[in-house]
Amino acid sequence: MQEKVSPVPVHVGIIMDGNGRWARQRGQIRTQGHLEGLKAAKRVVKAASDRGLRYLTLYTFSTENWKRTTEEVGFIMGLVKQYLRGELDFYRENHIRIRHAGDIAGLPADIAEEIRRAAEDTLGCDGMQVILALNYGGRDEIVRAVRRLTASGGQAEISEETLSAHLDNPDVPDPDLIIRSAGEFRTSNFLLWEGAYAEYYISPKFWPDWTEEDLARALENFRGRDRRFGGAVTGGAVK
């Protein structure tokens, strides 16, 4: 049973949107927006770790993002690789563990290998866990979970518990808060199952402009939420 009030979210998911618009606004190419988006991700990971968050899921590349140009896809994959390699010391120093959510089999072999290596190298880190949602789609995750569940035994019982147990990271608690930058009010296939009772926070700022202060604002906003998980309103005046 989850607590009704959670002053600091345990698990935050972020839809890092607006890289392209950020670049366009400055007359730059889209990839420049992704480059700045990576810098924002680094700032926010550090801030989230410093603030004691336990899990941070970053929506880095969706199962639908393959529709983008070969150049853009290649650029994002290159950034991921660079990020995983270049930040390893930072993770170890900050006791941050790297994990992955999504269909790893559908990723280029070198990227999949990089993810496995980073996950292995940070396995012993007991601080915040950063989950890179890469080639991730909520529907795809549910389909893969059902496949795993039905393949695991002829008479597999289908229930919320057994399906949850076959998701990509079954030990990770559901997100308390999902943040989306760039002002869109959409889930875009992010953590569909796990986010059933997540609180949403939409920021108008494009992702590359995000700083530690924006995270602080989102967490402060979360503190004021009355989480009922489907239960009735108990306190306060109802008019």
Indicate which single residue of 12, 38, 96, 107 sits in contact with ligand FPP (rule: CB under 6 A): 38
Indicate which single residue of 20, 137, 138, 195 sits in contact with ligand FPP (rule: CB under 6 A): 20
| Spatial contact of 61 and 83, defined as CB atoms under 8 Å apart | no
60 part of the interface to ligand FPP, by CB under 6 A: yes
Which helix (H) or strand (E) element contains residue 73?
helix 70-86
17 assigned to active site: yes
Total residues contacting ligand FPP by CB under 6 A comes to 19
3-state secondary structure of 15: strand
Nearer to ligand FPP among residue 19 and residue 32 (C-beta): 19
137 part of the interface to ligand FPP, by CB under 6 A: no
214 assigned to active site: no
Single-letter residue type at 87: E
3-state secondary structure of 12: strand
Residue list 156-185, contact with ligand FPP (CB under 6 A): 182
* H helical segments located in 87-236: 88-93, 109-121, 138-151, 160-164, 212-223
Single-letter residue type at 7: P
Residues known to be catalytic = 17, 65
Return residues touching ligand FPP (CB under 6 A): 16-21, 34, 37-38, 41, 58, 60, 65, 76, 79-80, 83, 182, 207
